[in-house]
Amino acid sequence: MGKKNFKILIVDDEEHFLLLLSNILIEEGYVVKAADRGERALQILENFNADMVITDLKMPDMDGIQLMSIAGAKYPDADFIVITAFATVESAVDAMKKGAADYITKPLKDLDELRITVARIFEKRKLLQENITLKNEQTDSLPPVELIFSGIDKVYEEVKAVSPADTTVILYGETGTGKSLIARIIHMMSRRKGLFVTVNCAAIPGTLLESEFFGHEKGAFTGAVSSKKGKFELASDGTIFLDEVSEMTVDLQAKLLRVLQEKCFERLGGLESITVDTRVIAATNRNLKKLVGEGSFREDLYYRLNVFPVSIPPLRERKEAIPVLVEYLADRLSRKLGKHVKSISEDAMKRLVSYLWPGNIRELENTIERAMILSKSNILEIQLPAIEVKAEVENLNMKSIEKKAIEDALKRANGNRRSASEILGISLRALQYKIKEYDIGES
């Protein structure tokens, strides 16, 4: 949802004030219509599917409470902002008890008051719409539960048991094992009605992550032109998923610990304490206990996150699931790419099952997609160099296999790390970490 699709109806019997508000919001990029009385507003609403109605409380033919009552019954998805004189703010509070989302006062001394109030509701609706769309997409394309948890029945039993609770969950597993998907499933199977909000702790610079978590007030730092809610606030009554939680700075770990303990925080630059009811699901591909021993992860935070640990096995430990996953992925990718692949050759399936998949399911999907793009037949063949590592290499230890796979990918990518990470189906950050761990030189 963009501002050009966000429709606002303004209702006020004072012509100059009506014009002022309309001009401000049109300049902000919203679609705006205006009415000088309640009856006219109801007429406009019949053909104008407003996302928001901003209405004065005191009008001659119909007051704002009456308008909100009538319009709210007919258009329950609309948000209402009431306008009240500065001296009668208590009436606005009463209106909010009856369903108004917020209020503004007149005379309007600060034009930013209107912009910020509208923007706050717009951003919330935008995020809600994105989550509804995402949930619909996930529901439409979500693999059957038995496929997602194929070969890992124990993980499914754990997920099914913990989902209805508000318990903090941490998912352990290598890159590409499906941690983010399982986090979404836990949220979908829970009783929570709020949003599922994801924060990739490795993708956001540490200097910005605090604002991303907790939001900020206007003027909190250079560029903070308006107040902004953080992800914890947006996920209240829902779930926040902290992916790659091990990458957080120690300073931010302390602030996260406070939220987990006290369920409250302050926005950057703010003094007001905000209380939230947000469930936390974290994920990492690293050994947090080892990081605690090294001093890079707080021990008290570790115990707060490690309430209900779930370990997701790598694909090489659930080989019986590979044929089922391959068939599902091939069918989905065939439709996505407009191909007509009807089956996988027996030789290709043997290659897929024998390979050890350092990039796990993500690498498997990438491999099938590449093979399908190159396929000129309705029977899929796998001829990519990365798959040439057959069962005989299983006699090597896993680190040697993983190191060889990375070296092969770098060679195929002519040393380009980003391309190599795409070949392996892992993040660039994870690849750089592995290159350093295995002391792999540049080719």
Q: Which residues contact 96 (CB under 8 A, 6 or more apart)?
A: 82, 102, 103
Q: Is residue 266 part of a domain?
A: yes
Same domain, 307 and 338: no
Q: Is residue 29 part of a domain?
A: yes
pLDDT tens figures, 91-135: 777 788 888 888 888 888 778 888 888 988 888 787 777 666 555
Q: Could you tell me whether strands 239-243 and 279-284 are parallel, antiparallel, or unpaired per DSSP bridges? A: parallel
Q: Which one is predicted more confidently, 228 or 258?
A: 258
* Least confidently predicted of 11-20, 127-136, 315-324, 433-442: 127-136
What CATH code is carried by the domain that includes residue 305? Answer: 3.40.50.300
pLDDT of 143 above 80: no
Average pLDDT on 143-162 reads 88
Same domain, 155 and 256: yes
How confident is residue 43, by pLDDT bands cut at 50, 70 and 90?
Answer: very high
- Contact between 319 and 361 (Cβ < 8 Å): no
Q: Is residue 75 part of a domain?
A: yes
**Cα torsion 339, 345, 348, 354: sign:** positive
Q: Is residue 130 part of a domain?
A: no
pLDDT of 387 above 90: no
- Per the structure, the complete domain to which residue 93 belongs is given by 3-111
What CATH code is carried by the domain that includes residue 372? Answer: 1.10.8.60
Same domain, 185 and 75: no
Q: Is residue 164 part of a domain?
A: yes
Same domain, 303 and 393: no
pLDDT of 82 above 80: yes
Same domain, 155 and 70: no
* Least confidently predicted of 50-54, 127-131, 170-174, 357-361: 127-131
Q: Is residue 131 part of a domain?
A: no
Same domain, 101 and 47: yes
Q: Give the number of domains in the chain.
A: 3
Residue 308, helix vs strand vs coil: strand
pLDDT of 138 above 80: no
